[in-house]
Amino acid sequence: MRTFKLNDGNEIPSVGFGVFMVEPNGPTEEAVSKALKAGYRLIDTAAAYFNEEDVGRAIRKSGVPREEIYVTSKLWMQDYGYEAAKAGIDASLKKLGTDYMDLYLLHQPYKDTAGAWKAMEEAVRAGKIRSIGVSNHTVKFLEKLIPQMEIKPAVNQMECNPFFQQKELRRYMEPYGIRLEAWYPLGHGARALFENPVLTKLAEKYGKNAGQVILRWHFQEGIVALPKATSQAHIEGNLDIFDFGLTDAEMDEIRALDTGKGTHDPDDMSNEAALSRYNVHE
């Protein structure tokens, strides 16, 4: 697996396996087991996915040494604030059944992110977390939070694909060395993206499918991609992107597809509704 270096010196696999909306109590464990067998080494979960325990079980049963697997989870908004975040970190470690997490993120901007971040910084110093970062934080939110940080985010996980390339955000993060990590890297399977003539032409040229071309574009842009899949064919296919390379001109063709719009406005975080849907303490 190819890796990228983070601003804290740690390395992260360039392609990971996300388990958002994969059911717990069996389906997640099965999907993660397939992914690890296929060669994935980054597994991305979250407290609010309610499947951290499944991820932990799959890792323990896989036979792959723990140090070879890059485990990511996220602190839910319900546990923001200094004291609550300390408890939330320990809860994720317990559910995953591991002594440390490779990456831990603030799931969304909400109220006392600074207090939660302080707890995450302390967890890094205590060896409970190796890298810390944020998710769904636009320039607007980062500008407020970064001055309060002692450790800068290693990662910002955001929606990103050829139709929504986060160019302004990436420019802002570059001086800090914050690496973009993409959720919905395949545009949530949007037909308009997969049938785009630029991508289908490149897929035909390289003997790949459009999804593989898209994931190769992410890799060459230096963006960590987190495609979601449950079928064996898609799980394996999403990793089959390292035997070809896009030219500079082809990269520019894909960059020109950017619309600047995703599935929602990332600056409009209506989080009270999300809090009512996801109660991680139940």
Q: Kind of pairing, strands 11-13 and 3-5?
A: antiparallel
What is the CA angle 28-209-20, rounded to 5?
20
CB atoms closer than 10 angstroms to residue 145:
17
CB-based burial, 174-203: b 16+ in 10 Å, e otherwise: eeeebbbbbbbbbbeeeeebbebeebeebb
Contact 220/248 with Cβ under 8 angstroms? no
- List Cβ neighbours of 104 (8 Å cut-off, separation of 6 or more): 72, 73, 74, 75, 89, 92, 120, 123, 129, 131, 132, 133
**Nearest 10 degrees: Cα torsion 98, 104, 108, 112:** 100
- Residue 206 designated active-site: no
User: Which among 40, 49, 110, 184 is annotated as catalytic?
Assistant: 49
Contact 217/208 with Cβ under 8 angstroms? no
Structure tokens at 68: 């070879």
Kindly give the interhelix angle for 52-62 and 82-96, rounded to the nearest 10 degrees: 40
Contact 138/113 with Cβ under 8 angstroms? no
Annotated active-site positions, please?
A: 49
